[in-house]
Amino acid sequence: MDWVLKDLAKWNDKIEEIAQQCGLDYYPQEFEVCDYHDMLGYQSYVGMPSRYPHWSFGKSFEKQNTMYKLGMGGLAYEMVINSNPCLAYLMIDNPLAMQILVMAHVYGHNDFFKNNINFSHTRAEFALETFKLNANRIRSFVETPSINYEGVERILDAAHAISFHVDRNQRIVRLSEDQQKEDYFHQINREKDNWDELKSQDQETDFIPALSEDLLLFILENSRFLQSWEKDIIRIVREETLYFLPQMETKIMNEGWASFWHYTILHKLNLPPEMHVDFIRSHNQVIRPHVGGLNPYHIGFHLMQHLAGNSNSFEEDINPQIFDIRTIDRDSSFLRRFLTQDLMEELGLFEYEKNNGKVSVSNVSNDFKGWKEVRDTLIKQVGTGGIPIIKVKGVSPISNALYLVHEYDGRELELGYVNKTMQHISTLWSNFPVHLETKVENKEVTCIFEKGNFRVEGNEETKESA
């Protein structure tokens, strides 16, 4: 350890000065020094110092610990929590040059959390307290004799299975069915006449309400049999997902933004030469391309640097446009707006196709037509694009069966997983049947989980009725 806390504080003041000059707007910052064991711990709880107990976090710890020991997965250099004041962890083993880089990087994240619109609903002021309260609440259920650990685990396991099935973009306000109806009639009948009220019965059949992709909320609002503590657990899981979701949706932007700023700030810091070399080496390690994969740091940094105006932007004026971009975009819109063919060629992006274990290149960036395909495929897999969209169709009145539909976009669901996941949904739906419409090998099918059994049926009947 070539530093003491005072050194960090000294460098931090310099970093903050530059950050403010550059126009970064961040929450007050707090740093906590920790060792690798703590860091692994924070990582497995997604950074939250207090979260409710569940074995999946233990599994995550074991996995990361094993990978770390085998040298397969590097440990995060830092970890930043979206909270106000912003909390960040520094690894005790890192040398001073690394700590400086990390601190500068943290201010980038901090600024992003505060200003990006996707984070506006996460209530950073209360984040740590909310998680702590949730953890306490779940612990209190564990300690309740009639519920105890097994009861809580049953609901948590099930709720985790569909935890990502919430409204992905919280900025899009979900209208109630009445509001939707109003909008609908407003559109088809701009000039509402007096007869409308009377005619509405007829027209209502044409109105199809937008389906909700918020499975957890639907279950919370419509289940007639869940007990209040069960609903509480589901509510907690949903709330925590909504908190983490923006981080998933802005991974490339967020890391690109932070990397851009640590790069810029460190160049303005006038580091001693030997530290500068260390810094450049660490920086390149972070933003190097992962051939055959995607490194969000690599893509994000490249794009941000390009948008800032110049590859040596730290010497010149930074294009203020990037501050707007960091405010209003998320990964998918960011890539769609700014990933040009030139940039893609520079990044060496390509599209591959899997076919029976054979992976082949299907499109490359330097193709005048194909590059768009590559970009669109990339956009599909960033953020929460890798998570299938499942929507709630409704509940059948007699059997109380829950009807879900998978929004098929060319990617098929893994049926083995569908089986188990539907089993979990059935648990949350008080063991009533669950139906899911999807496509397998281009045929419409319905997966049914009923009375502990899973089966897949062809869709003849539904076609007739539809």
**What part of residues 403-442 is at the interface with other proteins (CB under 8 A)?**
406, 410-418, 420-421, 423-424
**Phi then psi dihedrals of residue 263, to 5 deg:** -65, -45
Residue among 31 and 185 whose Cβ is closer to other proteins: 31
CA-to-CA separations, 291 to 146, 306, 341, 347, in angstroms, rounded = 53, 21, 19, 10
334's CB contacts (< 8 A; 6+ apart) are 252, 253, 303, 325
| CB closer to other proteins, 323 vs 408 | 408
Running DSSP on this structure, what letter comes out for residue 368?
T
- Contact call for residues 152 and 55 (beta carbons, < 8 A): no
* 310 and 297 Cβ atoms separated by less than 8 Å: no
- Contact set for other proteins, span 391-410 (CB under 8 A): 406, 410
Name which of 88 and 318 has its Cβ closer to other proteins.
Answer: 88
Residues 383 and 247: their CA atoms lie apart, in Å, by: 8
Give the range of 73-81, 223-231, 262-270, 344-352 binding other proteins by CB under 8 A. Answer: 344-352
From the CB of 12, what's the least distance to other proteins, in Å?
A: 5
Q: Which of 109, 283, 298, 391 binds other proteins (CB under 8 A)?
A: 298
Task: Give, as ranges, the residues between 78 and 97 that touch other proteins (CB under 8 A).
Answer: 85, 92
User: Which residue of 54, 109, 262, 330 would you call a contact of other proteins, by CB under 8 A?
Assistant: 54
Question: In 144-176, where does DSSP find H-type helix?
Answer: 148-161
Residue of the chain from 47, 246, 300, 388 that contacts other proteins (CB under 8 A): 388
CB atoms under 10 Å from CB of 466, counted, come to: 7
Is residue 62 part of the contact set for other proteins (CB under 8 A)? yes
Q: Which residue of 167, 367, 444, 450 would you call a contact of other proteins, by CB under 8 A?
A: 367
Nearer to other proteins, 239 or 412 (CB): 412
Please say whether the dihedral angle defined by the alpha carbons of residues 169, 172, 176 and 181, taken in this order, is positive or negative: negative
348-354 own/partner pairs: CB under 8 Å, 24+ apart: 348/289, 349/374, 349/375, 349/378, 350/374, 351/377, 351/378
Shortest Cβ 179–other proteins spacing (Å):
28
**Which segment (2-10, 178-186, 216-224, 279-287) binds other proteins by CB under 8 A?**
2-10
Asked if 353 is part of the footprint of other proteins (rule: CB under 8 A), the reply reads yes
Pick 306 or 424: Cβ nearer other proteins: 424
Residue 291, interface with other proteins (CB under 8 A)?
yes
User: Letter for the amino acid at 403?
Assistant: Y
Closest CB 273 distance from other proteins, rounded Å: 26
Q: Is 310 in the site for other proteins (CB under 8 A)?
A: no
- Report yes or no: 304 and 259 within 8 Å, Cβ to Cβ: yes
In the region spanning residues 204 to 233, those forming contacts with other proteins, defined by CB under 8 A, are none
The total of other beta-carbon atoms located within 10 Å of residue 360's CB is 8
| Cβ 318 to other proteins shortest distance, Å | 23
3-state secondary structure of 312: coil
| Residues from 96 through 155 that contact other proteins (CB under 8 A) | 153
- Which residue in 386, 453, 457, 461 binds other proteins (CB under 8 A)? 386
Distance of closest approach, residue 289 Cβ to other proteins, in angstroms: 5
Closest approach of other proteins to the CB of residue 458, in Å: 18
Cα first-last separation, the chain:
69
